[in-house]
Amino acid sequence: MAKVSTKQEVSGWVGWVAFAGVLSMVLGTFQAVAGIVALFKNEVYVLGPENLWLFDYTTWGWVHLLWGIFLVLAGGAILSGKTWGRVTGVILASVSALVNFAFIPIYPLWSIVIIALCVFVIYALIVHGDEIAVE
The predicted structure's pLDDT at residue 24: 92
| pLDDT at residue 2, rounded to an integer | 58
Q: Examine residue 5 and state whether it is found in any structural domain, yes or no.
A: no
Residue 134 has pLDDT above 90, yes or no: no
DSSP notation for the chain: -PPPP-PPPP-TTHHHHHHHHHHHHHHHHHHHHHHHHHHH-GGGS---TTS--SS-HHHHHHHHHHHHHHHHHHHHHHHTT-HHHHHHHHHHHHHHHHHHHHTTTT-HHHHHHHHHHHHHHHHHHHHHGGGG---
Mean pLDDT of 62-71: 90
pLDDT at residue 133 in the model? 61
Residue 31 resides in a domain: yes
Q: How many domains is the chain partitioned into structurally? A: 1
**What is the reported pLDDT for 132?**
64
The answer to the question of residue 8 being in a domain is no
| 6 within a domain of the structure (yes/no) | no
Average pLDDT over residues 47-64: 69
Specify if 10 maps to a domain.
no
For 4-25, how does the pLDDT look when each residue is reduced to its tens digit (9 = 90+)?
555 556 666 678 888 889 999 9
Boundaries of domain holding 33: 18-43+55-132
- Which tens digits make up the pLDDT trace of 85-112? 889 999 999 998 998 888 787 778 988 9
- Place 135 in a pLDDT band, splitting at 50, 70 and 90: very low
What is the arithmetic mean of pLDDT over 47-71?
76
Asked, for residue 116, whether it belongs to a domain, the answer is: yes
Mean pLDDT over the full length of the chain: 81
In a domain, 7, yes or no: no
Within-domain flag for 104? yes
